[in-house]
Structure 1
Amino acid sequence: MPLPTTCRLIHIPFLAAALFGLASLQPALAATAGTPASAQSIMDAMTRANAAVVGVKVTAVKEARSVRTLGLNRSGSGVVIGTDGLILTIGYLLLEAEQIEITTPAGKTLPAIAVAYDQATGFGPI
């Protein structure tokens, strides 16, 4: 069964960022192609990148206008972008949020708060 359109849209920015990141590795990988060390360095990079991805669960205010189109309970993903715990996610996930929780790769659930919503980029830091 295909994902609802809103779920697919949530993953597009993160997929684009991942592809851009892998493309930027290409020159370095070409220099060491065919060596076991290059395969290991790719695996190491992917492990570090995967550790930065968190799950995001949002419960919107019941009377919120966005509930009609986005639903009361929403979920998506985010990427930890700072050592202080700042997480970047898709902004509309946070619209009229009453409660935000993140789930770490280790399965730990933590409360979060929306810091902003950038309408120009569509991103929202938490």
Structure 2
Amino acid sequence: MRKSEFFMDLCFIREQVADAPRQPFAQNIDDQLKSLFPKHAKWSLEQKQADGLDYVIAEVTGTGAWEKDEDILAYLEERAAHHFWDWLQGYRLQVEVKEHAECSHCGKNNVKAGVL
């Protein structure tokens, strides 16, 4: 199985509801990302409000076993809550497959040669 790095920009939008106690929108998105990517991913969130709408832009980066964009989308379709899809209004996705096992810290190949 080959490793890959992925990069996602996600745009979430929902209507504001007056006088309704709700968890902050960014917290909802953060909770969803934590459940989808419990390991090997990190993200930053930017929340805005305008014209009666809540906006959250999420920049997500991480590593996984996906080889193409469709693999990540299939993963999300299987695991994301329905709210995720209700709120998701746009995305940009990129997957970079690593061709061989390299150390992420030094870039050197982890395979060692032995002597018989």
Settle same-fold status: TM greater than 0.5: no
Q: Where on the TM-score scale, by shorter chain, does this alignment land: which range?
A: 0.3 to 0.5
Structure with the larger strand share: 2
Q: Relative contact order: is structure 1 or structure 2 higher (C-alpha 8 Å, sep ≥ 6)?
A: 2
Q: TM-score w.r.t. structure 1 length?
A: 0.31
Q: Which has the higher helix share?
A: 1
Bigger Rg, which one: 2
